[in-house]
Structure 1
Amino acid sequence: MPLSIVTALVRNLITVPAAVLRTRVAKDAEVLALRHENAVLRRQIARVRYGPADRVWHAVLSRLVPRERWRQVFAVTPATLLAWHRKIIARKWTFPQLRRPGRPSTARTVKQLILRLAKENSTWGHRRIQGELARLGYPIAPSTVWEILHAAGIDPAPQRSGPTWRQFLTAQAHGILAADFLHLDCAVTLKRLYALVFIEHGTRRVHLAGVTAHPTAQWTVQQARNLATALDRHMDSLGFLLRDRDSKYTIAFDAVFEADDVEILLNPPRAPRANAICERAVGTLRREVLDRVLIYNEAHAVKVLTEYIQHYNGHRPHQSRQQLPPDSNEPPAPATVTDLQAHRIRRQPVLGALINEYHRAA
């Protein structure tokens, strides 16, 4: 029995000898006064709420008062008194050491780690946290992560919908390279900058072609040549380049890729979902970096984006790759349960702790 209940019972029991030693007239007068006070309180209070110690005390006194007098003595119904008494008896014969039926609950250390990841990474949703846990060696269902975050009062991020052109993109993913522009504004001069990024559908690897304030057609062609040189070993595996109908993509730009037998695919007009994977990568860049960092100039933008893309390609897990990063060529690890009490989780900050990477300490 909890200490608070025992204390309350002892305090009430001390008053019993004093009541026994009083004269009969004094006791009768006190009982009448208490009954009147009880009747007045019943008229003013719709419902009386009792604590555990109060319930035990009333349940014990009910055995000393005749049952036909319960309605006049106690502020609860006889059925309530009987229910309290049954709970006391049931608690006495309850064996808490017996495990409840059903699947075992999630370990408290894992719950604490989930809440830690959510606290240190405000933009991570439940699926992003689930992917990070899988990298650390503890596979857990996304729904379990969602329930833990919801119970802690943390709003889990909604599940985002997949891209259109699903059948085509799925069948040709390993041969598609997508391109898109994203814009960002300098914090001091409010000067608008433009970054040209490419993404490989098969590996989800992102490439930063360049950042400029004046994205002319000539500059775009030069960035395409630089990318083709950097991807010289991988160009043979690419079969399509997916881009929109921006005027900065000229015939010379397409010729750079067509020279390596890469076919150019144009998005339908005003249909960003046709290039959904690239658009989603651009959205990730905005949510995790650009919306949270003040950019000063072109050099600073290149530095920030380069450092984040290294994290994106080398560490960030991806659902389409079974929670492996783009640069990983290893097969998915088997589902193993890791004892987090025996392994320390080390945090490695990226971009000044704007983003965190987690590894098991050696």
Structure 2
Amino acid sequence: MALSYGVAVPYGRSTAANNAEILVLRHEVAVLRRQVVRPRLSWADRAVLSALARYLPPVLRRHRLVTPGTLLTWHRRLVRWKWRQTPAGPGRPPLAEETVALIQRLARENPAWGYVRIQGELRRLGHRIAAAAIRRVLRRSGLPPAPQRASQQTWRSFLRSQAHTLLACDFMHVETVFLKRLYIFFVMEIATRRVHALGVPAHLTGAWVTQLARNLLMDLEDRAGCFRFLIRDRDSKFTAAFDAVFAGDGTAVIPTRPQSHRSNAFAERWIRTARAECTDRLLITGERHLRTVLTTYAEHYNTGRAHRSLDLRAPDDHPSVILLPAAVVRRRQLLGSLLNEYHTTPPQRLLHLQETPRSAA
């Protein structure tokens, strides 16, 4: 009703009143145009103005918000919107994140592999990638080419890759109850973590250490030729004769840097373990007592102690043997219950059946 009344009112007025109202409205529009530089029109406004502009004289169309040029612009915009497509980037699509992570992994784990070597390994794994793409991935990841990666090998990575050919030796001291210092000379096989406690002297000499080296090679027998390097510190007790004993068997001696305990980290870690689990919890009376304690602890360390680096197995455990759970677990006490070893025992009924001859069963 309000719309029909507003539209019908101008027909009841005089021509002069209508002309005056039109002039007022035009002036108001001119004032508003000076305030608004570019009005924002909705699609509904554009549709109404486009439909009504058709009935205006050509002279009045030039002064409206919607001109013929505006209508053509709107039409071209609608055409582009209808036929627009998602723009595709130039070149091939990027590699998947899983493939990029695999390339980075192969490069980090194999410092000597070049781009073509990594490409071949990826092809064997089902990924066909160009060597240039592998080079771009490594550059973005901050990984240098193969020669530079191989030259950046750390001491830790060297030890891990050469563990099965490495021996490490060091000295350890123990204070007796009579405030007398005794020394322990030991050698560790880094791959298996097996420890050889070679001697407990009260006074260290170069000749004594050299003789212990000969004893070690005799105990290793055929396995002595498997070791290529021996890591030791720069103690004065390691003489040229000591190095010559291992050099004669084909084992090169590698002295560590001065005051660089991490270079011989495996031996240093065993010293800490032996102190925490054994020597710091006992009162040692003399050489004989320490030798007995050390022999027992070394046997426990090699046969009855779990190691995190060996998947919670002892050095002498067979890696392919998995013990089944048993009903009875028995404890064996060592060094006056200072150390405990646990062994599984089958139930008495199963033990009885095992002892019964097959024919009788």
Residue equivalent to 2:305: 316
> 2:278 is paired with a residue of what secondary structure?
helix
Alpha-carbon contact 1:176-1:239 (below 8 Å) kept: yes
Alpha-carbon contact 1:322-1:332 (below 8 Å) kept: no
Residue equivalent to 1:329: 318
**1:332 Cα deviation from its structure 2 partner:** 5.4
Q: Distance in 1 between matches of 2:218 and 2:318?
A: 22
Where relative contact order (Cα < 8 A, 6+ residues apart) is larger, the structure is: 1
**1:327 Cα deviation from its structure 2 partner:** 1.4
Q: Distance in 2 between matches of 1:291 and 1:327?
A: 25
Match of 1:293 among 282, 306, 326: 282
Residue equivalent to 2:94: none
Q: Distance in 2 between matches of 1:329 and 1:202?
A: 14
Match of 2:250 among 251, 255, 261: 261
Match of 1:180 among 143, 165, 170: 170
Amino acid paired to 2:341: E
Amino acid paired to 1:245: R
Q: Distance in 1 between matches of 2:284 and 2:169?
A: 23
Q: Distance in 1 between matches of 2:263 and 2:220?
A: 24
Residue equivalent to 2:336: 352
Structure 2 spans left out of the alignment, 5+ residues:
1-153, 347-361
**1:328 Cα deviation from its structure 2 partner:** 2.0
Alpha-carbon contact 1:179-1:242 (below 8 Å) kept: yes
> Mapping of 1:147-158 within 5 angstroms?
none
**1:314 Cα deviation from its structure 2 partner:** 0.9
Q: Distance in 1 between matches of 2:345 and 2:155?
A: 42
Residue equivalent to 1:192: 181
Matched, 1:343 2:333: no
Matched, 1:210 2:199: yes
Q: Distance in 1 between matches of 2:232 and 2:251?
A: 12
Matched, 1:233 2:219: no
- Runs of 4+ in structure 1 over 3 Å off: none
Identical counterparts, % of pairs: 46
Amino acid paired to 1:254: D
Amino acid paired to 1:350: L
Q: CA RMSD in A?
A: 1.5
Matched, 1:304 2:288: no
> 1:282 is paired with a residue of what secondary structure?
helix
Match of 2:238 among 249, 254, 261: 249
Structure 1 spans left out of the alignment, 5+ residues:
1-163
**1:319 Cα deviation from its structure 2 partner:** 1.7
Equivalent pairs, count: 193
Residues 112-162 of structure 1: CA deviation (Å, up to 9, x unaligned):
xxxxxxxxxxxxxxxxxxxxxxxxxxxxxxxxxxxxxxxxxxxxxxxxxxx
Q: Distance in 2 between matches of 1:168 and 1:210?
A: 29
**1:269 Cα deviation from its structure 2 partner:** 0.7
Residue equivalent to 1:73: none
Alpha-carbon contact 1:324-1:332 (below 8 Å) kept: no
Q: Distance in 2 between matches of 1:190 and 1:320?
A: 36
The change in CA–CA distance for 1:332 and 1:274 in structure 2 (over 3 A counts) is farther
Q: Distance in 1 between matches of 2:190 and 2:319?
A: 18
Q: Distance in 2 between matches of 1:332 and 1:173?
A: 22
**1:246 Cα deviation from its structure 2 partner:** 0.2
Amino acid paired to 2:165: G
Residue equivalent to 2:265: 276
Residues 39-63 of structure 1: CA deviation (Å, up to 9, x unaligned):
xxxxxxxxxxxxxxxxxxxxxxxxx
Which one has the largest radius of gyration? Answer: 2
Match of 1:170 among 160, 164, 187: 160
**1:326 Cα deviation from its structure 2 partner:** 0.9
> Mapping of 1:64-83 within 5 angstroms?
none
> 2:196 is paired with a residue of what secondary structure?
strand
Amino acid paired to 1:168: F
